[in-house]
Amino acid sequence: MRRVVAGALALALTLSLIARESDAGDQLPSLATQVHAIFQVKCVECHAADLAHPKGKFGYVLDLPRVAANPKMIVPGNPLKSELYQMVWHNEMPDPKGDSTPLTLEEKAIVKAWIETGASTALGAGTTYDPAAGANTASPLSVGRRIVRDVGQFHPPLTHFPIALLIAALPAEFIWTLTRKDSWKTTVRFCVVLGAASAVVTATLGWFDAAASHYSGSAAEILVWHRWFGTATAVWAVLIAALSELANRKGNPDRWCLSFRLTLLLGIILVSAAGYLGASLIYGLHHFTW
């Protein structure tokens, strides 16, 4: 009798373990299916395969095997070390400036569970999830934060003015030293004065833009460097404009001209570094390919 009871208990335990494994196996395809659906609604605006320049060179968000195989994005079993989950959790992705709303807590939990269970890439026919049901449940922005966000959106287009003007001033100054034509000196003064003014405005708008953005991981560190390089560029550009006026006053010694040229060269280095870091926030730190 005891053998019969022991055999029955062993059989029941075995069936229970098989059932659990079966449930877990069914859950993985279901999670993959739900994550794929969430990415399809929330992420293709910036990361679709058919985009000419997908953000961060990440244009394969719907290719789950490729996403899961990227160790920089996914660490299977560990969402806290997975950059993709950190970006989602901190509302960095989808882009706050885009049309897609942030993931809801339920959607974030699904992405987290998907990574915790190994980031399966099998799209099954299990329970599906309609992300549209929670697509518009994000809390509305306050009036002040909306103003900060809207004003900050002018930062990216305005960055082209100080970059172009300050860089153009250097060859114009070189041509003036060769030709001594007043028209080239006028061009230099125009570039540095307007470049300084636009640099101050651009840097100010950059602080607004950063306040309304959400970056985590390496992108957050890049943002810090970009912000301070941009601020330093604005301060340096004002100094360049002041030195330009001093260098062009009659009777001032030649050392003012030398100081202006050295300061202009440093300003070009600063504005180039700030521009590179700004592009890195969109296309990734190593966006130059040779």
pLDDT tens string 27-40: 444 688 888 888 88
> Which pair of tokens denotes residue 65?
């095997």
pLDDT tens string 146-201: 788 788 888 988 999 999 999 999 999 999 999 989 999 999 999 999 999 999 99
**How is 130-164 classified by DSSP, letter by letter?**
-GGGGTT-SPPPPHHHHHHHHHHTTHHHHTHHHHH
- Res 9 pLDDT > 70: no
- For residues 93 and 100, the answer to whether their CB atoms sit within 8 Å is no
CA distance 279 to 53: 12
Domains defined for the chain, CATH in brackets: 28-134 (no CATH), 143-283 (1.20.120.230)
Work out the percent of the chain whose per-residue pLDDT is above 90: 28
Q: Which residues of 205-238 are buried (b: 16+ CB within 10 A; e: fewer)?
A: bbebbbebbbbbeebeebbeebbebbbbbbebbb
pLDDT of residue 255: 84
